[in-house]
Amino acid sequence: MPVNIQIKKSLPGHQHLPTGSYNEQIFAFYGMVTEVHPEDNSVHVRMDNGRIISGVRVASLEWVTVNNNKGFLSGQRRLPPIDTFVLCLMPTGELNSAIVLCSAFAYDVAEHAAFKEEGEDAAETRKLVTNAGWIRTEDNRTGTVVIQNKEEEPTIKIEIDQENEEKIKLTLCENTYSIEKNTLEFVIDKCSFKTDGKKWEIDANGNKIEHTDSKTTINGNFEVSK
């Protein structure tokens, strides 16, 4: 695979891995993704000295295997977006053998500081922020998992407390529900809408809906309309 090298501006965060002179063989370097190419499952990566390496392959988190008996190729295409800070490995010490291995936080990039937290709670919490903006946290001590659509004032939030095997907490548009596991019973803890003027209807399948100010019980699938 030919290697296209261009000189660009310096990359922040390169203090992670000193790579020395590029006249010598190196086997790994940190860089920033500048282009993404799903047509051949590769990316362009800018090195810390400004050089851009094109056509860098991306590691798969699933085994890449040709299954001749079943007639398919296994693997996982999960290309890093532009401006992703990545670690590239060069097994032969040459640029044309580079492969994006993983990503890492940079010490000297201000945006990466958003993940910095102090204290035992942070040390015992696994945090995931996806490229789509979903946030998932998991407490290693209790097993509690929280999934929400944004950091501040989320409109969708699901909390699963492993220590409470009876209920799952669900928040939708400021309404918080405690959902009984293995049932379709919703107990409203907090509700922003008013019941006056709202019509609760039995749907075409004849599912029954009983509503009070503190509790809504649904038998089967349902639709609610004004």
Q: What is the pLDDT of residue 216?
A: 54
pLDDT in tens, 87-131: 999 999 888 899 999 998 877 778 888 888 889 999 999 999 999
Q: What is the pLDDT of residue 213?
A: 53
Position 189 pLDDT exceeds 90 = no
Q: DSSP E strands: which ranges in the chain?
A: 5-7, 28-37, 42-47, 51-58, 65-67, 72-74, 85-89, 99-103, 125-129, 135-139, 145-148, 156-160, 167-172, 175-180, 185-190, 208-211, 215-219
27 lies in a domain?
Answer: yes
Position 135 pLDDT exceeds 60 = yes
Q: What is the pLDDT of residue 163?
A: 78
Position 46 pLDDT exceeds 90 = yes
**Which residue is associated with the tokens 């959902």?**
179
Instruction: Give the amino acid at 20.
Output: G
Other Cβ atoms closer than 10 A to 53: 22
90 lies in a domain?
Answer: yes
User: Count of domains in the chain?
Assistant: 1
Share of the chain above pLDDT 70, in %: 65
Q: Can you read off the two tokens belonging to residue 223? A: 């639709």
Other Cβ atoms closer than 10 A to 106: 19
Q: What is the pLDDT of residue 218?
A: 52
CA-to-CA dists, residue 73 to 38, 65, 99, angstroms: 16, 6, 20
Position 194 pLDDT exceeds 80 = no
Output the domain CATH number for residue 85.
Answer: 2.40.50.230
pLDDT in tens, 3-30: 444 434 444 444 434 444 444 567 999 9
59 lies in a domain?
Answer: yes
Q: What is the pLDDT of residue 204?
A: 42
**Which residue range forms the structural domain that includes residue 54?**
5-103
Position 195 pLDDT exceeds 50 = no
87 lies in a domain?
Answer: yes
Ranking 73-77, 83-87, 122-126, 201-205 by mean pLDDT, the lowest is 201-205
Other Cβ atoms closer than 10 A to 180: 14
pLDDT in tens, 168-179: 777 776 677 666
The strand pair at 145-148 and 156-160 is best described as: antiparallel
Q: What is the pLDDT of residue 98?
A: 93
Decide which of 5 and 160 is more confident.
160
224 lies in a domain?
Answer: no
Position 186 pLDDT exceeds 70 = no
Position 44 pLDDT exceeds 90 = yes
